[in-house]
A and B are shown apart, each in its own frame.
Chain A
Amino acid sequence: MSNIEIYNGIFTEVFGVSADALGASFSKENNDQWDSVHQLSLVSLAEDRFDIMLDPEDILGFTSYEKGIEIIRNQGVEF
């Protein structure tokens, strides 16, 4: 499974959406479901699946699909 598929799978698991719904517009701002509990789930799954440790700033900044990719990429994960 590619890293982008793993990443999309995290969003599918947390928000119950299909991969087609994911993209630049999928963010905290545009999604009523995206609260602190969902953000915690996203972050903890990302840390687990990619075997990374995020700083508090990264966790707080993980507020959109695209920002998440950028944060994980900064940890040395290639997409």
Chain B
Amino acid sequence: MAFLRFNGIRVAGVAACVPEHVEPTVSTSTAYDREAYMATTGIIEKRWSNEFTASDLCQAAAEKLLEELSWERDSIDVLIFISQTPDYILPATSCVLHGKLGFRKGCMCQDISLGCSGWVYGVTTAMSLLQSGVGMRRAIVLSGDARKAAYEEPDQLFGYAGTATAIEFDPDAVTSPIYSEVGTDGTGYDAIIRPQGGTRNPIDEHTFDLVECEDGRMRHGMQTRMKGMDVFAFGITTAPKSIKQLAKTAGFDYQDYDYFLFHQANRKMNEVIRTKLKLPEDKVPYSMTYFGNTSSASIPLTLVTQLRDKLTGTCARLIGCGFGVGLSWGTIAFEADHIVVPELIEL
């Protein structure tokens, strides 16, 4: 177990951006019609557009957040970008965003290639850097995904979103500790995989040939495959364990927390996790209903779309838990004390 504790650090704000275009859920499955598919997944519609990359959406979220926080751009010491859909194979998208956002040259930039657990990893990494840095005070964590239509299937659950999270370190500040627990099971690396396009299986003349996958569906080499049952089994066991382990190690009762922001995988899976943790429905908000599974954006997007009114001008204790591709997971417990949450941005 990788357990981390942070002092003097606060989450200062969270912003999210989605495309304006709404795409209703469709089902191409013979086993489920649209109604049954929506009932199982909990997703009625998602935001989608071929016009934007994940970095476009993250940039818009970052600009709005910096403006509302009144943070000068040259005050940012760390920029982290988390995504499975970077702008390029190289350079790192965090470098592209660094230039577009006009951050100073002394700013440390880093990409993290993770999906559903990515926000927890990104925030944990940023906090670690600030706490161990010399005179480093502010970090912006950008997370999101935007898959292009050519790499998608029409009934995929994934929606587009980009988010920005602002983190500040003040060694003299009196803040509640923040706790984080992260982990990996790399034996399940192929449970969710896009097999081609990297150096293991480079793009060639057959990359876009359709081949039959284990689930009977036809996909080309740049489309994502998922072993549904493996991912289900991983999610419903790992997420509750991770939250319980974090609470036990940190010495708190997780039932005392106000809200639980789970990665928005699908409703059936998340409800199993909620039931296992014996949490009341009103403590577990959902954004997936209208935004789909937004990968590493799902936790901050849920905060913005479901908790903005409840968090404005007050203090609440939150637990975020992400789990998925890798297989990878992370849980973070923190206090949202008068954090800045701009209205959802739509492009």
Which residues of A are at the interface with B, using a C-beta cutoff of 8 A? 32-33, 35-37, 39-41, 43-44, 47-48, 53-57, 59-60
Contact = CB atoms under 8 A, between A and B. Distances in A.
A11 to B, nearest CB: 18
A55 to B, nearest CB: 6
B237 A40 contact: no
Interface in B227-258: 228-230, 232-234, 236-238
A60 B230 contact: yes
Contacts of B229: 36, 39-40, 59-60
Interface stretch (B119-127, B268-276, B285-293): B268-276
A37 B236 CA distance: 13
B150 interface: no
B269 A40 contact: yes
B275 A36 contact: no
Interface residues of B, number: 16
B228 A54 contact: no
B40 interface: yes
Interface of B: 31, 40, 228-230, 232-234, 236-238, 268-269, 272, 275-276
Contacts of B40: 37
Contact of A55 (B228, B237, B272, B276): B237
Task: Please give me the 10 A-B residue pairs with the lowest Cβ-Cβ distance, nearest first.
Answer: A59-B233, A36-B228, A56-B233, A44-B272, A36-B229, A40-B232, A56-B237, A60-B233, A37-B40, A56-B234
Interface of A is mostly: helix
22 contacts: A32-B31, A35-B31, A35-B228, A36-B229, A40-B236, A40-B268, A40-B269, A40-B272, A44-B236, A44-B275, A47-B276, A53-B237, A53-B276, A54-B237, A55-B237, A56-B234, A56-B238, A57-B233, A59-B229, A59-B233, A59-B237, A60-B229
